[in-house]
Amino acid sequence: MSSQLLSATRPYLQLCSVLTLTLPPNFHTLPEQRRRRLLFIFACYTLLILAIGGYVTYINILGVYFEIKLYKLEEFTNILEVIHTIFFTILLAAIHLNMLLQYRRLGSLYVDIAQVERNIFEAAQPYKDLTRVFSFRWRLALKSGLLMVFLVVTHSYITATGLAKSLSLYEQILTIFILGLLQFKCVEYCVFVQLIHELILSLKRQLQQLHREMEDCGENDALLQALCSALRLNQLLLLRVWALVGELEAYFMLPMLLLFFFNAVSIFCLVNWLYIQSVNQLDFSRSWRLYNVLVLVVNLFVPCWLAQSCINTYNSFSNMLHSVEHGNSRMLIMRLREYALQLQHLKLLFTCGGLFDINLKYFAGLIATTSTYVIILIQFKLQADIEAKQAANNAAKVPIPLS
């Protein structure tokens, strides 16, 4: 955590550690004995949060049974809601298990980020701008920080509005806490994506400076050789940032996979309840469910948007290389060609273990898939309602035999 960029992310990571989403930021800098002691304490704290998650799952299953019986709903809604509620604990356990088993990978990720940042700043020493770290803090606040505030305010309020009436006040508070904790995993992921993006932006600024110097160097062989060496260093540093994305993918694969699935199923369940309310004209408000759908969609959109922005910045390197005026320098031509081939073969992708990409294209596909299943659900329910009405009408038309 000695690097400037990691120091800028410290408040967000500390909050995530309080929520048991990640280990405390200073954990990896402690002596071995203190680290083991802190790991034991944090594991106990994690088990406490997991026990609270199990309790929240139990009381919400009872709340689902209460509403199913109260409004006399079909078995499909009962099964769907129970599965969705049980997934609270499954997702929470997966997040905690991934954190405790992969804390060494996270520590090596911190070390690699700090080393790459140090090498980038050393390579860009002649035109280093100290204000960039402050601008990175602002970008973190405007994106990850704003998402954090959005989740705290909107998700907590909307969840509190829609909880089962059979829950007591402290049970509602625990439910809001656990559901908000699950959604905060996206904030942690967004912070790391912005870290990677900042490293790529630093390399892009360095490449732009090299581009300007190449245009002014003329036929000076010594200067051309120095610029080719700087271009080679820029290429190797970008390769190391590309490798960091692979480490990030390995660490976040399981929790992000389950979180995306959980939010998609949550949207499906909320639409199911909206249909039930509209058809049966139930007496509880529907607006909170619509707002909750929007919150879940936003929480899926932001990491995809940030990852897409990072990918677009990485892809812009190719256009910059093709626009370089290389003249007749064979050495510069070969260096540019090698750099371009690297960018062509090493595409930057944010994925969940290769199962799907995290970008705007995937987000559009996820929304389209969820909408398709929602349409199928509504058609299924409409058909079932029509058949039930026809059966009721036929039963009403059957003449009653005289005794």
pLDDT tens, position by position, 181-239: 999 999 999 999 999 999 999 899 888 888 887 776 666 677 778 888 888 998 999 99
Predicted confidence at residue 390, as pLDDT, reads 62
Contact between residue 53 and residue 92 where contact means Cβ atoms under 8 Å apart: yes
**Pairwise CA distance, residues 28 & 47, whole Å:** 21
Contact between residue 356 and residue 300 where contact means Cβ atoms under 8 Å apart: no
Three-state DSSP class for 80?
helix
Q: Read off the pLDDT of residues 144-193 as tens digits, 9 standing for 90 and up.
A: 989 999 888 888 888 777 666 667 788 888 888 998 899 999 999 999 99
Which residue range(s) make up the domain with 96?
Answer: 4-379
Inside any domain, residue 390: no
Query: Phi then psi for 321, rounded to 5 degrees?
Result: -65, -40
Q: What is the pLDDT along the chain (403 residues), one digit of tens a residue?
A: 568 888 889 999 999 999 888 888 888 888 888 888 888 999 899 999 999 999 988 888 887 777 777 666 666 777 777 888 888 889 999 999 998 888 889 989 999 999 998 888 888 765 455 446 668 888 898 999 899 998 888 888 887 776 666 677 888 888 889 988 999 999 999 999 999 999 999 899 888 888 887 776 666 677 778 888 888 998 999 999 999 999 999 999 999 999 998 888 888 888 877 777 666 655 555 566 778 888 889 999 999 999 999 999 999 988 888 877 666 677 788 888 888 899 888 999 998 878 888 999 988 988 888 888 778 877 776 666 666 566 656 666 655 555 5
List, in order, residues 6 or more apart from 224 with CB less than 8 Å away: 214, 217, 329, 331, 332
Inside any domain, residue 148: yes
31: number of Cβ within 10 Å = 8
Residue-wise burial string across 349-371, b where 16 or more C-beta atoms lie within 10 A, e elsewhere: bbbbeeeebbbbebbeebeeebe
Structural domains counted in the chain: 1
Query: Phi then psi for 351, rounded to 5 degrees?
Result: -130, 170
Of 166, 145, 144, residue with least CA distance to 63: 166
Inside any domain, residue 402: no
**Pairwise CA distance, residues 141 & 149, whole Å:** 10
Inside any domain, residue 97: yes
Predicted confidence at residue 206, as pLDDT, reads 87
Tokens at 224, concatenated: 């051309």
Burial class (CB in 10 A: 0-12, 13-18, 19+), 116: buried
Predicted confidence at residue 194, as pLDDT, reads 94
The pTM of this model reads 0.88
Predicted confidence at residue 162, as pLDDT, reads 67
Predicted confidence at residue 220, as pLDDT, reads 65
198: number of Cβ within 10 Å = 24
Predicted confidence at residue 391, as pLDDT, reads 63
Inside any domain, residue 103: yes
Inside any domain, residue 386: no
List, in order, residues 6 or more apart from 190 with CB less than 8 Å away: 143, 144, 147, 302, 303, 306
Tokens at 387, concatenated: 């058949």
Inside any domain, residue 388: no
Inside any domain, residue 232: yes
